[in-house]
Structure 1
Protein backbone atom coordinates (compact mmCIF):
# COMPACT_ATOMS: atom_id res chain seq x y z
CA UNK A 1 0.00 0.00 0.00
CA UNK A 2 1.46 3.35 -1.04
CA UNK A 3 1.96 5.88 1.73
CA UNK A 4 0.80 8.83 -0.40
CA UNK A 5 3.11 11.36 1.25
CA UNK A 6 1.69 14.88 1.63
CA UNK A 7 4.47 17.12 0.27
CA UNK A 8 7.41 17.42 -2.11
CA UNK A 9 10.67 16.47 -0.39
CA UNK A 10 12.57 19.27 -2.13
CA UNK A 11 10.28 22.33 -2.11
CA UNK A 12 7.65 21.23 0.43
CA UNK A 13 4.78 21.90 -2.01
CA UNK A 14 1.54 20.30 -0.85
CA UNK A 15 0.69 17.15 -2.80
CA UNK A 16 -2.73 15.90 -1.67
CA UNK A 17 -3.98 12.38 -2.40
CA UNK A 18 -5.52 13.52 -5.69
CA UNK A 19 -2.62 15.63 -6.98
CA UNK A 20 -1.65 15.36 -10.65
CA UNK A 21 1.69 16.92 -9.73
CA UNK A 22 2.99 14.11 -7.48
CA UNK A 23 5.82 11.90 -8.71
CA UNK A 24 7.43 8.97 -6.86
CA UNK A 25 10.48 6.75 -7.20
CA UNK A 26 10.59 3.04 -6.43
CA UNK A 27 11.07 3.80 -2.70
CA UNK A 28 8.17 6.30 -2.67
CA UNK A 29 10.39 9.35 -2.40
CA UNK A 30 7.88 12.03 -3.35
CA UNK A 31 8.54 15.12 -5.44
CA UNK A 32 6.43 17.55 -7.47
CA UNK A 33 6.74 17.59 -11.26
CA UNK A 34 8.68 20.88 -11.23
CA UNK A 35 11.33 19.47 -8.90
CA UNK A 36 11.55 16.22 -10.87
CA UNK A 37 12.36 18.31 -13.96
CA UNK A 38 14.95 20.27 -11.97
CA UNK A 39 16.51 16.98 -10.84
CA UNK A 40 16.59 15.64 -14.43
CA UNK A 41 14.22 12.81 -13.48
CA UNK A 42 16.80 11.25 -11.12
CA UNK A 43 15.86 10.64 -7.49
CA UNK A 44 18.49 12.28 -5.27
CA UNK A 45 18.03 9.57 -2.64
CA UNK A 46 18.33 6.36 -4.67
CA UNK A 47 19.32 7.40 -8.19
CA UNK A 48 16.21 5.83 -9.68
CA UNK A 49 13.66 7.38 -11.98
CA UNK A 50 10.24 8.82 -11.25
CA UNK A 51 6.70 7.89 -12.23
CA UNK A 52 3.40 9.66 -11.71
CA UNK A 53 1.98 8.78 -8.30
CA UNK A 54 -1.43 7.09 -8.50
CA UNK A 55 -4.40 8.98 -7.10
CA UNK A 56 -6.07 7.39 -4.08
CA UNK A 57 -9.84 7.71 -4.57
CA UNK A 58 -11.60 9.82 -1.95
CA UNK A 59 -13.97 7.00 -1.05
CA UNK A 60 -10.98 4.91 0.16
CA UNK A 61 -9.38 7.55 2.38
CA UNK A 62 -11.20 6.53 5.54
CA UNK A 63 -10.24 2.88 5.23
CA UNK A 64 -6.77 3.58 3.77
CA UNK A 65 -5.62 6.98 5.06
CA UNK A 66 -2.72 8.79 3.45
CA UNK A 67 0.50 9.60 5.29
CA UNK A 68 0.76 12.81 7.31
CA UNK A 69 4.53 12.50 7.72
CA UNK A 70 6.33 15.36 5.99
CA UNK A 71 9.79 14.62 4.63
CA UNK A 72 11.50 17.89 3.75
CA UNK A 73 15.10 17.55 2.59
CA UNK A 74 15.95 20.25 0.04
CA UNK A 75 18.38 18.91 -2.54
CA UNK A 76 21.84 20.43 -2.97
CA UNK A 77 21.64 20.71 -6.76
CA UNK A 78 25.38 21.09 -7.29
CA UNK A 79 26.00 17.88 -5.34
CA UNK A 80 23.14 16.12 -7.16
CA UNK A 81 24.48 17.08 -10.60
CA UNK A 82 28.00 15.96 -9.66
CA UNK A 83 26.86 12.68 -8.08
CA UNK A 84 24.84 11.67 -11.13
CA UNK A 85 27.09 13.21 -13.84
CA UNK A 86 24.47 15.66 -15.01
CA UNK A 87 25.83 18.38 -17.30
CA UNK A 88 24.35 21.83 -16.86
Structure 2
Protein backbone atom coordinates (compact mmCIF):
# COMPACT_ATOMS: atom_id res chain seq x y z
CA UNK A 1 0.00 0.00 0.00
CA UNK A 2 1.32 3.48 -0.85
CA UNK A 3 2.42 5.64 2.05
CA UNK A 4 0.70 8.79 0.64
CA UNK A 5 2.97 11.40 2.18
CA UNK A 6 1.19 14.60 3.17
CA UNK A 7 3.42 17.20 1.53
CA UNK A 8 5.77 18.11 -1.30
CA UNK A 9 9.41 17.31 -0.53
CA UNK A 10 10.63 20.41 -2.36
CA UNK A 11 8.24 23.20 -1.26
CA UNK A 12 6.29 21.58 1.62
CA UNK A 13 2.91 22.28 -0.01
CA UNK A 14 0.06 20.20 1.43
CA UNK A 15 -0.92 17.21 -0.71
CA UNK A 16 -4.12 15.64 0.67
CA UNK A 17 -4.50 11.93 -0.12
CA UNK A 18 -8.00 12.39 -1.54
CA UNK A 19 -7.13 15.15 -4.04
CA UNK A 20 -5.20 15.11 -7.30
CA UNK A 21 -1.97 17.06 -7.71
CA UNK A 22 0.68 14.85 -6.12
CA UNK A 23 3.42 13.12 -8.12
CA UNK A 24 5.51 10.16 -6.92
CA UNK A 25 8.40 7.99 -8.09
CA UNK A 26 8.73 4.26 -7.46
CA UNK A 27 10.32 5.00 -4.05
CA UNK A 28 7.32 7.18 -3.11
CA UNK A 29 9.27 10.44 -3.13
CA UNK A 30 6.44 12.97 -3.35
CA UNK A 31 6.19 16.32 -5.12
CA UNK A 32 3.44 18.80 -6.00
CA UNK A 33 2.47 19.44 -9.62
CA UNK A 34 4.51 22.64 -9.91
CA UNK A 35 7.71 21.14 -8.47
CA UNK A 36 7.33 17.97 -10.56
CA UNK A 37 7.01 20.13 -13.68
CA UNK A 38 10.07 22.17 -12.69
CA UNK A 39 11.97 18.91 -12.19
CA UNK A 40 10.82 17.79 -15.67
CA UNK A 41 9.06 14.79 -14.09
CA UNK A 42 12.39 13.31 -12.86
CA UNK A 43 12.89 12.56 -9.15
CA UNK A 44 15.96 14.41 -7.84
CA UNK A 45 16.51 11.72 -5.20
CA UNK A 46 16.67 8.59 -7.35
CA UNK A 47 16.36 9.72 -10.95
CA UNK A 48 13.05 7.89 -11.33
CA UNK A 49 10.04 9.07 -13.29
CA UNK A 50 7.50 11.20 -11.41
CA UNK A 51 3.95 10.09 -12.15
CA UNK A 52 0.55 11.21 -10.82
CA UNK A 53 -0.12 9.63 -7.42
CA UNK A 54 -3.40 7.72 -7.17
CA UNK A 55 -5.97 9.11 -4.76
CA UNK A 56 -7.41 7.28 -1.77
CA UNK A 57 -10.94 8.37 -0.93
CA UNK A 58 -13.91 7.72 1.30
CA UNK A 59 -14.05 4.56 3.40
CA UNK A 60 -10.70 3.35 2.02
CA UNK A 61 -8.98 6.51 3.26
CA UNK A 62 -10.74 6.26 6.64
CA UNK A 63 -9.68 2.62 7.05
CA UNK A 64 -6.17 3.20 5.65
CA UNK A 65 -5.15 6.75 6.50
CA UNK A 66 -2.37 8.59 4.71
CA UNK A 67 0.97 9.09 6.40
CA UNK A 68 1.35 12.10 8.68
CA UNK A 69 5.14 12.11 8.44
CA UNK A 70 6.39 14.98 6.28
CA UNK A 71 9.59 14.73 4.26
CA UNK A 72 10.92 18.21 3.45
CA UNK A 73 14.18 18.71 1.60
CA UNK A 74 14.25 22.32 0.37
CA UNK A 75 15.98 22.61 -2.98
CA UNK A 76 16.91 25.24 -5.47
CA UNK A 77 14.54 24.35 -8.31
List runs of 5+ in structure 1 lacking aligned partners. 78-88
Check the 8 A contact 2:25/2:43 in 1, yes or no: yes
User: TM-score of the superposition, structure 2-length normalised?
Assistant: 0.93
Q: Which has the larger radius of gyration?
A: 1
Greater RCO, CA 8 A, separation 6+: 2
SS at match of 2:62: coil
Q: Report the alpha carbon displacement of residue 25 of structure 1 after superposing the two structures with TM.
A: 0.4
Please state if 1:57 is matched with 2:57.
yes
Count of residues paired in the alignment: 77
List runs of 5+ in structure 2 lacking aligned partners. none
Check the 8 A contact 1:6/1:68 in 2, yes or no: yes
Show structure 1 runs of 4+ deviating over 6 A. none
What residue is the counterpart of 2:69 in the other structure?
69
What residue is the counterpart of 1:25 in the other structure?
25
CA RMSD, Structure 1 to Structure 2 (Å):
1.0
Once the two structures are superposed, what CA deviation does each residue of 1:22-63 show, in whole Å capped at 9, x if it has no partner? 000000000001001111111010001111000001211222
